[in-house]
Structure 1
Amino acid sequence: MDHQQEYIDRGDDRIGIQIYPAPESAQAPAVVLWPAMGVPARFYRPFALALTAAGLAVHVVDLRGTGASSPRPGRASRYGYHQLVTDVPAVGEALRTRLAGRPVLLLGHSLGAHLCLLHLATTGGPGIAGVVVVAAGLAYWRSYPPVRGLVTLAQTQGVAAAAALLGVWPGWGFGGRQARGVISGWAYTARNGRYPPLGGIDPNPGLAELRTPVLAVSVEGDDYVPAFGLDHLCGTLVSAPVERVHYTAAEAGARLNHFRWVRSGEPLARRVAGFAGRL
């Protein structure tokens, strides 16, 4: 096995963390990777190995209810964005000994990127040297061309309505099985173009004040998060130094989309390592 499986408990939920072999240098940067909605940590193995080969210490988290994390989301699940965001520092604390002495990067794909940014916005991100945002956008319906925007609004709010009615999102063609609170938060961003309150606190001002360096990566062929969706998100980071790049099929040497980049991520892993080195 090329990684070690560990767990941390968060109330009634257990979160799985895959830990890959660390570089020999105790000062090599570390990456904590947070996945997209419904995507298990094991899916990122090719990219994790590429990051390891690029000289980084790699840790991949399973979001609540996904992959090695438990239990499976159901009608009794009461968590949403707020709880997922508080999982970020909890994982950091669990990894504290392994991360000690290393510059730490948070790397988030889609929903995972939002959790990383919201953690930084609400806490200031102590101990975090930088954040990498991959294929993430707010899916704000007004940021799309008119017809597509209305379709996006109808789709996102329809999913939220179904999750509220059923008590859980069954994962019909999108996002995997999810707690209704997670779907509610996601639909809020699509409807309003901003993040929902977390524990009664508006995180958006903190996002505007964020000064942690950001590497923001859009992906060619991504129909879920077009490049302009990430541009809209970057527009909220008015104080942070943002390095904006577009990962292309030509650079990857393969066709790409919202998920396929993970299988062809060696050039992107080198970009991440370069970003870490510049920090």
Structure 2
Amino acid sequence: MQVYPQPDQPDAPVVVVWPAMGVRARYYRPLAAALRAAGMAVVVADLRGTGASTPAPSRRSRHGYAELAGDVGAALEALKPRLDGRARLLLGHSLGGQAALLHLALRGGDAVDGLALVAVGLPYWRAYPGRRRFGVLPYTQGIAATTALLGVWPGWGFGGRQARGVIRDWAYSARTGRFPQLDEVDTEAAVRRVRTPVLAISVDDDQYTPHATMDHLCAKLVSAPVVRERYTAADAGAPLDHFTWVRAAGPLAGRVAAFAAGLPRR
């Protein structure tokens, strides 16, 4: 985990950032700087098998979404001395947002005060606009079939090197619009029970999780207070897509800080 220098306020809210599939923690340095400038303490974790998290996925790797969700809990436990007495926020990008949400669904939200989802959505093929939806299903299922054949996803043009379980669970969501059952738990029902406040921000010109896929995900959060927003190129003052919003995150970081400031105090 990358732990950034504390802001001047000793009791500043802490935000733990969870990256997108195949994206290293170091990519989020501009976001971390913007969040810190907005008055937040920042930690950025690598997803399992990416960046500083070793070993890299191989044919022996069996982990999937359940283990990624468990890693969120393990990181929070390791950070407990830094978190005690302070507001705690998870910020997830793409797959990192799904892992953070699944942690809350499967393990409970007692250790977390709020969840920010940025450029997150279930990649359900029917949720994509226009004719684009008809390419999503063969694309995602083709990746899943290749991964099943090879025993690992090599990262050919998408997502970096990934364990077969991660790709299996991702492809299931793309095919069905639902989270897979994890650890013998009805994950869809567990997500509906999540009560942690959520800030859900979709991003303009997102090639992987356009606005409608975030709407599809938010529709599952029937028990949580959800603040639904869009981050536009006009807001950012720069072109945006699924990844480049990180480099133009100043106004977005302000929204996250305002959301954190409004959370109930511990």
Q: TM-score, normalised by structure 2?
A: 0.97
Give SS of 1:233's match.
Answer: helix
Q: 1:42 aligns with which of 22, 26, 42?
A: 26
> Which residue in 1 is equivalent to 2:42?
58
> Which residue in 1 is equivalent to 2:88?
104
Matched to 2:51, the amino acid is G
- Asked if residue 174 in structure 1 is aligned to residue 158 in structure 2, the reply is yes
Query: C-alpha distance in 2, partners of 1:221/1:140?
Result: 17
Extract unaligned runs of 5+ from structure 2.
Answer: none
Matched to 2:94, the amino acid is S
Query: C-alpha distance in 1, partners of 2:248/2:5?
Result: 21
Distance of aligned partners of 1:208 and 1:30 in 2 relative to their CA distance in 1, 3 Å threshold: same
Extract unaligned runs of 5+ from structure 1.
Answer: 1-16
> Which residue in 2 is equivalent to 1:5?
none
Query: C-alpha distance in 1, partners of 2:40/2:172?
Result: 35
CA deviations 1:78-113 (Å, max 9, x no partner) are 111111110011000000001111100000000000
Give SS of 2:90's match.
Answer: strand
Shift of 1:146: 6.1
How many residues are aligned here? Answer: 263
Give SS of 1:108's match.
Answer: strand
Matches within 5 A, 1:154-233: 154-233=138-217
CA deviations 1:51-77 (Å, max 9, x no partner) are 011110100001111111100111111
Shift of 1:223: 1.4
> Which residue in 2 is equivalent to 1:125?
109
Q: Percent identity?
A: 61
CA deviations 1:249-269 (Å, max 9, x no partner) are 111110000000000001100
- Asked if residue 142 in structure 1 is aligned to residue 122 in structure 2, the reply is no
Matched to 2:60, the amino acid is A
Query: C-alpha distance in 2, partners of 1:145/1:254?
Result: 23
Q: 1:116 aligns with which of 74, 77, 100?
A: 100
Matched to 2:185, the amino acid is I
Query: C-alpha distance in 2, partners of 1:144/1:89?
Result: 31
Query: C-alpha distance in 1, partners of 2:22/2:149?
Result: 20
Q: 2:9 aligns with which of 13, 22, 25?
A: 25
Q: TM-score, normalised by structure 1?
A: 0.92
Which 4+ stretches in 1 moved above 6 angstroms? none
The two structures, once aligned, show a CA RMSD in angstroms of 1.0
